[in-house]
Amino acid sequence: MLKTFLTIAAACAFAVTAAAQERPASSITDVTGTWVISIESHQLGLELEQKESTIEGVLHAMGQRILLVGTYEDRKLILKGEPSDDQTQPALGAGPITATMLDDGTMEGELSTNHGRMKFTAERLRKP
């Protein structure tokens, strides 16, 4: 019984280690993942998917999902709101979301709000 338990535990540990190695490490060349944007006293969610220099994403803000498209080149991220087919999705403010990737893997940038352009910081969501 103990031998079976140890075999199962070892297999589980191996599977977890293998899965962790398959995940791309946080890098400054790929923005894929879930980000937490901090702007003044608020936090927004940002999900990004990168294919070469093209970015698709979703901004989660105030209970809304805003579809985004853009580019990421030379540590510069530029995202714009993408119109929805049903036109019920509000347009992203007056201007794109822009950000620069820093050496530590975080980003700094600006986005439009109903109070004008505001600076933000962003970091990847850390999973437990």
Helix (H), strand (E), coil (C) string for 70-103? EEEECCEEEEEECCCCCCCCCCCCCCCEEEEECC
d(Cα 64, Cα 9) in Å, to the nearest integer?
Answer: 42
Pick left, alpha or beta for residue 62 (phi over 0 → left; psi -120 to 50 → alpha; otherwise beta): left
* pLDDT tens profile 39-91: 999 999 999 999 999 999 999 988 889 999 999 999 999 999 876 555 555 55
Pick left, alpha or beta for residue 116 (phi over 0 → left; psi -120 to 50 → alpha; otherwise beta): left
pLDDT of residue 1: 45
pTM as predicted = 0.73
pLDDT at 31 over 80: yes
The full set of domain ranges for the chain reads 26-124
Q: Which CATH class is domain 26-124?
A: mainly beta
